[in-house]
Every structure is written in structure tokens, then in C-alpha cells.
Amino acid sequence: MLYIPKCLFHLNNYDGLIVRSDTKVTADVIAAGKNLKVIGRAGAGVDNIDINAATSKNVVVLNTPGGNAISACELTCSLITNLARNVTPAAASLKAGRWDRKLYTGHELSGKVLAILGLGRIGREVALRMQAWGMKTIGYDPIVSAEDSKKFNVESLSLEEIWPLADYITVHTPLIPETRNLICDKVFNSCKKGVRIVNVARGGIINEADLLQALKDGRCGGAALDVFEKEPPTDPGLALVRRKYE
């Protein structure tokens, strides 16, 4: 694997390039790869690769959409249960010498409604596991039919139908123009007060400034983020990281 951009001048010696999400394969990078024939993304999305530039140079772009499905699913499920039981703030409180048992009681997941945005392999795996916890699963995916979603016990709904029903929302979509800022101020106004949000997909799907405000005013009851719009995060993402549990 090449470190880009410092090794641009070496790129013309290679036929293939393998990257993960941190490496941005721009038009300049692709132009420097005179012999480049294929770019492989070790992961699901290809938003860090300039697809148009690759196509214009007849460079094939490949990804591994199922490669991290189980890992992403397990992380998602862990974050959902963490939010339900306030594990992180309770541990921080205990380490600080406090004994705030009543403050961090949490709630049961059984009977709660989990909305899954994106019903690909990760979304399906999350649904199956959280159903075992007694959660009702609803979801949205424009390319997965209602009949197919029924096969893994997810009720397919429109986004407008999902917002007022969801106790938890987890996103498993690529970052494309249609999904950028998908979770925003308008959505929080349409959701149950105290809805909880999980994102292990892509930064930018959730509007971080709107999420921060929703946490402050109580419209959002908690959020668990594995990704940020800018990484390492800067404000407002950094403000989310530093926000104290209240």
C-alpha cells in the first residue's frame, strides 16, 4: 500500500492501488498512476475515490462491501445497548468517585422500535441480532423491496413514517448526495422526544451541528458515533465528543 500524497511520484510504477477510507484517491492521484489499472477499497464505500476520474482513465474501482459487515454489525449492537444502559457515562461517573445509580438506570430494549436506514448486509445483520433482544425492527432502503425486508422481519416504511415511530435510529448507508445530512434538525423535530442515534457508517450522514443542538434541548436522548464528517473531528464533531452527559 502506498502512502498518498507523498509517494505520488512512485505511483506510475504500479498497476494496482489498495486503500481504506482515510486515503483520498483524487483526480491528481489517478493521473499520476500512468499504469494504474485497478483501485481496490478495503471496505464498503468508495466515496473517497474520484470515480469519474477513474472512469475517464479506464481504471476499474472495486470494493469489498461485505468484508466488515459482521464487525460493523457487532459494533452497532454494542453501541445500542451502551446507549440503553448508559454504560459510558456511568463508568465515567464511578471513576470520578460518584455513585449516581439512579441517574444512569437506563431502560430495557425489549419492546422498543429500532429504525434501520439501509438494509444491506450490515443492516440485516443488525436487525436479526436486535430482534433477539425483543426490539421491533422497521427500516428504509430504496433498493430493497418490502417483500425482501419481510424475510428478515423488518417492516419497510418511508422515512416520513419512520421518524415518529423510532426509539432508536441506526444508519447503514453510503455517503452520497441523497444521504448527506439525512439526520438533521427537521428530522429531530419529527421524531419522538429522546430518540437515540447510532452511526458507524459515514460521517456527514448526520448533521453534527443539528445533533449537538438536539442533544442540548433533549430532542435527542443520546448518540453513539464511530465516524465524523472530519476525522480527526473538529467542531461541531469535537464538541460532540467533549460534551458531558447531563
Task: List, as own/partner pairs, every contact residues 155-159 make where C-beta atoms lie below 8 angstroms and the sequence separation is at least 24, other chains included.
Answer: 156/119, 159/117
Q: What is the pLDDT of residues 139-160, one digit of tens each?
A: 999 999 999 999 999 999 999 9
pTM of the full predicted structure? 0.82
Specify the DSSP element, H or E, that contains 137.
Answer: strand 136-140
Residue that is written with C-alpha cell 512512485 in the block = 10
Q: How many CB atoms lie within 10 A of CB 193?
A: 11
> 10-residue block means of pLDDT along the chain (246 residues)?
54 88 88 91 82 93 83 97 94 93 93 97 97 98 96 98 98 94 98 98 96 97 96 93 74
Encode pLDDT of 184-234 as tens digits.
999 999 999 999 999 999 999 999 999 999 999 999 999 999 999 999 999
Closest to 190 in 3D by CA, of 217, 220, 234:
220
Tell me the CB-side half-sphere exposure of residue 49, using CA atoms within 13 A. Answer: 24
Q: What angle do CA 143, 162, 153 make, to 5 degrees?
A: 60
Structural domains for the chain: 8-63 (3.40.50.720), 69-242 (3.40.50.720)
φ, ψ for residue 3 (rounded to 5)?
Answer: -85, 120
| Pairing verdict, β 38-41 and 220-225 | unpaired
